[in-house]
């Protein structure tokens, strides 16, 4: 950025009280309803019921739920990856597609699940993907499937399908928005030089929208990590996700220590993912 | 000729993918508007009915749930717009002691969803006497890190000359914020408001924990009644209730989809 523009962007030096007053309501809310409970849950994760320091909560969390922790990471990573690939495909088709009716249809259709609550999406999928749900019944009635060989998807596959179905519109909307605002001259130049649509997408379009894609994926990752309704409703079986285990420890045993340890593990995972976003945001948007 | 075939294939493939994508939603519509015996069987001439909606409406106080959800998203959005605007303006335009620490504290929220802090937040709400109130459901979300970050980025792009011109015209600091920054960030506000309303209309876990009466319970929590085994598994009624819950957002999207998408395109979320 040229120096004179940097000067223009420089923060105004004014009263010190005014900006503090402007920030105070938000900061107070963050301190009371985020920083304090976060610190408290961190402390609770590291002490026993008598208040003595211990790693027992983490031992218990890993002893009982290490499979679920791995399962959660795999499910959410897989869903995030699928959301990313499909969002690029949708955005790419909307930007580079040459068949106007197909582009119009895709544009109209892909956004709908954005407005469906997770609990409703889980409800839809629970009844749709069941062994005797509409999907299998339709395939059977079409003669594409033998009634004896129907398989339900109410397991990890159902969770991934629901997550992808629910989160894809949000990321695709961000990505297609970023793609639509790109300078078309580079795309047209590549086209004139004979580059195919896939090559233009992978080598020209995706690198330019990567920051937006990352924002969408990380927000989706964090959101999916915290969803309780989908794993409970779509897959009642074990292994399950960390959120279900937390609810189980609290509801069945009143074990807040292990629940907080699981919470700590959960936000360590989301924190690692979100740090990438923050690092990029701070680097790209100037120092905070 | 081959171009025409390619175009035709493209359209057919798009239609098939589109239908596949909407199938769970189409299925919900099909089941909700047909008698229970057609809930897992597709028959084009199956009779239409509204009985499932009547049964769902009678099984739960949906009118109250709608009102509660409306109050909840309105309270959260109003709080977010005020708090995020003020904080984002301060972060974007002023230098003050502790700015870096305060901004990092706000941004750390992006890493951790409030849902994993429900146990401690519940205790805090109980201390404030806000259990089973709309305020109790809304408070943990009003200082949205996403909103502050998004608006700060938008405010940073506003030309300084406009601010100086407004100051020359006699505007105070808050006047500049209201008359210069807020109008110029309108697309960001609309995009953010839609994401916020959609998210909080759909939120389930925190309202489930913090409410325990019909007077405050929002739609998503009310809907979970239909998922319990003691209600029996009547998919027709479940899907009718499901459509009742998500209907307002879907209708709003149908009406405002052009503005919604344009706002996202102009907001340039990065």
Q: Does domain B60-267 have CATH number 1.10.510.10?
A: no
Say what the pLDDT of residue A288 is. Answer: 32
Cβ atoms < 10 Å from Cβ of B29: 14
Q: Which residue has the tokens 């209600």?
A: B231
Q: What is the distance between the alpha carbons of residues A33 and B120, in angstroms, rounded to a whole number?
A: 9
List, as one string, the DSSP characters of B20-76. HHHHHHHHHHHHHTS-GGGTT---TTPPP-SHHHHHHHHHTTHHHHHHHHHHHHHHH
Spatial contact of B235 and B40, defined as CB atoms under 8 Å apart: yes
Contact A119 B202 (CB under 8 A): yes
Say what the pLDDT of residue B268 is. Answer: 54
pLDDT for residue B231 is more than 70:
no
User: SS3 of A176, please?
Assistant: helix
> Which of A91-105, B182-196, B255-269 holds the top average pLDDT?
B182-196
User: SS3 of B159, please?
Assistant: coil
Q: Is B173 on the interface with A (CB under 8 A)?
A: yes
Say what the pLDDT of residue A159 is. Answer: 93
User: SS3 of B94, please?
Assistant: strand
Q: How confident is the model at residue B138 (pLDDT cuts 50, 70, 90)?
A: very high
- Higher pLDDT pick, B7 / B146: B146
User: SS3 of A54, please?
Assistant: coil
Q: Which of residues 22-51 of A touch B (CB under 8 A)?
A: 22-23, 25-27, 29-38, 40-41, 44
Distance from the B230 Cα atom to the nearest Cα atom in chain A, whole angstroms: 15
Q: Is A101 on the interface with B (CB under 8 A)?
A: yes
What six digits make up the tokens of A179? 């793609």
Q: What is the distance between the alpha carbons of residues B216 and B132, in angstroms, rounded to a whole number?
A: 6
Summarize the confidence of residues B113-123 as an average pLDDT. Answer: 76
Cβ atoms < 10 Å from Cβ of B14: 20
What are the structural domain ranges in chain A? Answer: 57-285
Q: How confident is the model at residue B227 (pLDDT cuts 50, 70, 90)?
A: low
Q: Which residue has the tokens 């998919």?
A: B235
Cβ density class A180-219: b for 16+ within 10 Å, e for less? eeeeeeebeebbeeebebeebbeebbbeebebbbbbbbbb
The C-alpha angle B191, B192, B193, rounded to 5 degrees, equals: 95
* DSSP annotation of A47: B
Spatial contact of A71 and A156, defined as CB atoms under 8 Å apart: yes
Summarize the confidence of residues B184-199 as an average pLDDT. Answer: 85
Q: How confident is the model at residue B264 (pLDDT cuts 50, 70, 90)?
A: low
What are the structural domain ranges in chain B? Answer: 2-53, 60-267
pLDDT in tens, B165-188: 888 888 888 899 999 999 998 888
Cα-Cα-Cα-Cα dihedral of B265, B267, B268, B270, to 10°? -130
Q: What is the distance between the alpha carbons of residues B230 and B52, in angstroms, rounded to a whole number?
A: 18
Say what the pLDDT of residue A281 is. Answer: 57
Summarize the confidence of residues B236-245 as an average pLDDT. Answer: 81
Q: What is the distance between the alpha carbons of residues B218 and B213, in angstroms, rounded to a whole number?
A: 10
H or E segment and range at residue A241: none
- Residue A123 with chain B: CB contacts under 8 Å: 223, 226-227, 238-239, 242
Identify from B24, B163, B177, B210 which residue to disrupt to test chain A contact, counting A C-beta atoms within 10 A and taking the largest count: B24
pLDDT for residue B55 is more than 50:
yes
Say what the pLDDT of residue B174 is. Answer: 87
Cβ atoms < 10 Å from Cβ of A278: 19
Spatial contact of A167 and A86, defined as CB atoms under 8 Å apart: no
Q: Is B149 on the interface with A (CB under 8 A)?
A: yes
Distance from the A217 Cα atom to the nearest Cα atom in chain B, whole angstroms: 12
Greatest Cα pair distance in chain B: 74
Spatial contact of A103 and B7, defined as CB atoms under 8 Å apart: no
What six digits make up the tokens of B240? 């009718």
Q: How confident is the model at residue B17 (pLDDT cuts 50, 70, 90)?
A: confident
Q: What is the distance between the alpha carbons of residues B188 and B78, in angstroms, rounded to a whole number?
A: 15
Q: Which residue has the tokens 């502790």?
A: B98
CATH class, A57-285 region: mainly alpha
For residue A219, give the nearest of A160, A175, A159 by alpha carbon. A175
Q: Which of residues 209-268 of A touch B (CB under 8 A)?
A: 211-212, 215, 219, 222-223, 225-229, 233, 243, 246, 250, 256, 259-260, 263, 266-267
Question: Nearest residue of B to residue A134 by CA position?
Answer: B40
* DSSP annotation of A11: P
Say what the pLDDT of residue B79 is. Answer: 94
For residue A277, give the nearest of A196, A251, A102, A285 by alpha carbon. A285
User: SS3 of A287, please?
Assistant: coil
Per-residue model confidence as pLDDT tens for chain A (288 residues): 455 555 445 555 556 788 888 888 988 988 888 888 888 888 888 888 788 888 988 998 999 999 999 999 999 999 999 999 999 988 888 888 877 887 888 887 887 787 777 877 887 788 778 877 777 777 787 777 777 777 788 888 999 999 999 899 889 988 888 888 888 888 888 888 888 888 888 888 999 888 888 888 988 888 888 888 889 888 877 788 998 888 888 778 888 888 888 888 888 888 787 776 666 655 554 433
What six digits make up the tokens of B161? 């000359």
């Amino acid at each position: 950025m040229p120096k004179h523009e940097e000067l223009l962007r420089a923060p105004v030096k004014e009263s010190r009280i005014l900006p503090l007053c402007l920030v105070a309501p938000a900061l107070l809310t963050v301190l009371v309803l985020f920083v304090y409970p976060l610190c408290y849950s961190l402390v609770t994760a590291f002490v026993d019921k008598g208040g003595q320091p211990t790693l027992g909560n983490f031992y218990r969390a890993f002893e009982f739920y290490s499979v679920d922790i791995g399962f959660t990471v795999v499910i959410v990573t897989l869903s995030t990856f699928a959301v990313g690939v499909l969002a690029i495909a949708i955005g790419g088709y909307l930007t580079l597609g040459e068949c106007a009716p197909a582009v119009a249809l895709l544009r109209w259709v892909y956004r709908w699940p954005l407005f469906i609550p997770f609990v409703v999406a889980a409800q839809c999928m629970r009844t749709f993907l069941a062994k005797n749900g509409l999907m299998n019944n339709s395939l059977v009635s079409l003669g594409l499937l033998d009634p004896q060989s129907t398989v339900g998807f109410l397991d990890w596959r159902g969770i991934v399908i629901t997550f992808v179905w629910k989160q894809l519109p949000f990321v695709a909307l961000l990505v297609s928005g970023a793609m639509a605002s790109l300078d078309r001259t580079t795309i047209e130049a590549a086209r004139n030089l004979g580059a195919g649509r896939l090559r233009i997408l992978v080598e020209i379009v995706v690198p330019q929208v990567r920051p937006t894609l990352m924002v969408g994926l990380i927000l989706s990752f964090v959101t999916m990590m915290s969803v309780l309704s989908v794993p409970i409703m779509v897959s009642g079986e074990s292994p399950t996700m960390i959120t279900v285990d937390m609810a189980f420890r609290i509801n069945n045993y009143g074990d807040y220590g292990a629940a907080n340890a699981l919470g700590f593990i959960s936000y360590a995972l989301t924190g690692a993912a979100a740090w990438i976003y923050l690092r990029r945001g701070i680097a790209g948007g100037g120092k905070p | 000729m081959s171009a025409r075939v390619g175009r035709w294939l493209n359209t057919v493939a798009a239609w098939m993918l589109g239908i596949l994508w909407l199938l769970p939603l189409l299925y919900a519509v099909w089941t909700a508007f047909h008698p229970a015996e057609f809930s897992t069987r597709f028959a084009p001439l199956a009779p239409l009915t509204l009985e499932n909606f009547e049964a769902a409406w009678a099984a739960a106080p949906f009118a109250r749930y709608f009102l509660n959800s409306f109050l909840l998203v309105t309270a959260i959005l109003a709080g977010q717009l005020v708090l995020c605007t003020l904080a984002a303006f301060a972060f974007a335009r002023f230098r003050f002691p502790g700015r870096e620490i305060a901004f990092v504290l706000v941004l750390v929220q992006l890493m951790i969803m409030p849902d994993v802090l429900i146990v401690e937040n519940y205790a805090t709400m109980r201390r404030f006497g806000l259990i089973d109130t709309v305020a109790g459901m809304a408070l943990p979300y009003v200082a949205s890190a996403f909103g502050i970050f998004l608006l700060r980025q938008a405010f940073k792009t506003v030309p300084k000359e406009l601010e100086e011109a407004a100051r020359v015209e006699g505007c105070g600091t808050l006047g500049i914020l209201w008359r210069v920054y807020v109008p110029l960030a309108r697309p960001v506000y609309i995009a953010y408001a839609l994401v916020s309303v959609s998210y909080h209309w759909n939120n389930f876990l925190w309202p489930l924990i913090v409410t325990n009466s019909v007077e405050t319970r929002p739609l998503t929590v009310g809907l979970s009644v239909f998922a319990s085994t003691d209600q029996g598994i009547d998919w027709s009624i479940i899907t009718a209730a499901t459509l009742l819950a998500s209907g307002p957002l879907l209708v709003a999207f149908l009406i405002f989809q052009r503005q919604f998408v344009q706002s996202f395109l102009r907001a340039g979320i990065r």
